[in-house]
Structure 1
Amino acid sequence: MKKSILSIIVFTIALVFSNEINAQEFPGLDKSPMDAASYPSSYRVSNKKVKVIYSRPQLKGRGLDKLAPAGKVWRTGANEAAEITFYKNVNFGGKEVKAGTYTLFTIPGATKWTVILSTAKNVWGSYFYKESEDVVRVTGKVSTAKEKLEVFSIAFSGEGDNFTMNLGWGKTIVTVPVKG
């Protein structure tokens, strides 16, 4: 009897002081948190035309040219490469694209960016980018923002079936027209 009471006491003390049993460890907030942009952008609209899932890096005193170098394939965000889903066939930057999920890569430039939809899936960064997996390449028009955007952002604007994908970071805004 004394042995089983002692066993229960020892077990209870171990249970109380054990971090593994009492607590789950959760990571802190990512330095480039994941976000989503969609069109229509209202959360109350379930019949979306497009959704992009991407991570949002911050400039933190660095230049855009250091984080997304001109002439080099960029993952279009941070961490995993951005993924874009079209829920029906669309005309993306003047080219027909079938409904589906694609990886979104870009090649920054001074006056235009190349925007790439790729069949690659579950891609970290752009380290393993292959041009042979491109579905389309379109030209994104570059303009200058009035105010500097510290955090990389993707947003959609427009009305009805005619809308625009906007990529913004620093003072750079890149736009791609979409019809769907």
Structure 2
Amino acid sequence: MKKSILAIAVFAITLFSGTDSFAQKWKKLDVSPMDASTFPDNWRESNKVVKVVYGRPQLKGRDLAKLAPAGKVWRTGANEAAEITFFKDVFFGGKAVKAGTYSLFTIPSAEGDWTVILNKARNVWGHYTYKEIEDVIRVKGTVSKSEENIEAFSMIFEDDMTLKMGWANTVVSVPIKTEIIEK
């Protein structure tokens, strides 16, 4: 009887003292966390048209022109290249795009306009393996200035499904439609 009580006590001590070996090793928070924006932007709506997933770099006193240099392909966010998923065929900036997932790249220009690119490559880190030959479309984004400083790069969809990308005091807009309205 004493041996079985002793065995149970040793087992319990071993079990409870060894819990550290089973502890999870959680990563610290990324300084540029991932975010997502959808249209429609209503968690109750399961019939989405578009979703974009991207990293959110912050200015932290740095100049936008150094973080997204003119004339160079930018990953449109931080870390992995942004990915945009269309759940229906759409017109992106007036150009037809089939439903699917694409990497979203941009090229700022010294003149202030931005080229917005949908590219076939997926699951890529940054823009380091970007290949122009894999571009699906390129459109010009409409550039406007924000009255307030946007510290963390952000993407939203307006009520008319226009994609807005904002950082510092720059806002780049691309209209998205599910059908083209003839004029």
What is the rounded CA distance, in whole Å, between the counterparts of 1:142 and 1:102 in structure 2?
22
Q: In structure 1, what is the equivalent of residue 74 of structure 2?
A: 74
Paired with 1:106 and 1:17, the residues of 2 have a C-alpha distance of 53
- Tell me whether 1:138 sits opposite 2:147 in the alignment: no
Shift of 1:4: 7.8
Give the distance between the partners of 1:47 and 1:58, measured in 2 at CA.
31
SS at the partner of 1:20? Answer: helix
Correspondence for 2:181:
none
Measure, in 1, the Cα distance between the counterparts of 2:17 and 2:62.
Answer: 45
Give the Cα separation in 1 of the matches to 2:10 and 2:65: 60
CA distance in 2, matches of 1:9, 1:147: 65
Residue in 2 that maps onto 1:165: 163
1:152 Cα deviation (Å)?
Answer: 0.4
Q: Provide structure 1 residue ranges, at least 5 long, that are not aligned to the other structure.
A: none
What is the number of equivalent residue pairs in this alignment?
176
CA distance in 1, matches of 2:82, 2:164: 14
- Aligned residue for 1:33? 33
**In the TM superposition, what is the alpha-carbon distance from 1:80 to its structure 2 partner?**
0.8
Structure 1 pair 8/147, CA: closer, same or farther in 2 (3 Å)? same
Tell me the secondary structure at the aligned position of residue 167 of structure 1.
strand
1:103-114 paired onto structure 2 within 5 Å: 103-110=103-110, 111-114=112-115
Distance 1:99 1:32 in 2: 28
CA deviation after TM superposition for structure 1 residue 15, in Å: 3.5
Counterparts of residues 114-153 of structure 1 (less than 5 Å): 114-153=115-154
Quote the RMSD (CA, aligned, Å). Answer: 1.8
TM-score normalised per structure 2: 0.88
Structure 2 gap ranges (5+): 179-183
> Which residue does the alignment assign to 1:97?
97
**Matching residue of 1:49:** 49
Distance in 1 (alpha carbons) for counterparts of 2:10 and 2:152: 52
Once the two structures are overlaid, the 10-residue window that deviates more, 105-114 or 95-104, is: 105-114
Paired AA for residue 61 in structure 2: G
Q: CA deviation at 1:3?
A: 8.2
Determine which of 171, 174, 177 is the counterpart of 2:172. 174
- Cα pair distance change 1:143/1:5, threshold 3 Å: same
Deviations 1:14-36 (A, max 9, x none): 43333122x21211221111110
Which structure carries more strand by proportion? 1
Q: Distance in 1 between matches of 2:26 and 2:176?
A: 39
Residue of structure 1 equivalent to 2:58: 58
CA-CA distance at 1:113 after TM superposition: 0.6
Task: Name the CA distance, whole Å, in 2 between partners of 1:82 and 1:107.
Answer: 14
Q: How does the TM-score come out when normalised to structure 1?
A: 0.89
Change (3 A) 1:67 1:7: farther
Aligned counterparts of 1:6 and 1:69: Cα–Cα separation in 2: 70
Q: How far apart in 2 are the matches of 1:167 and 1:13? A: 56
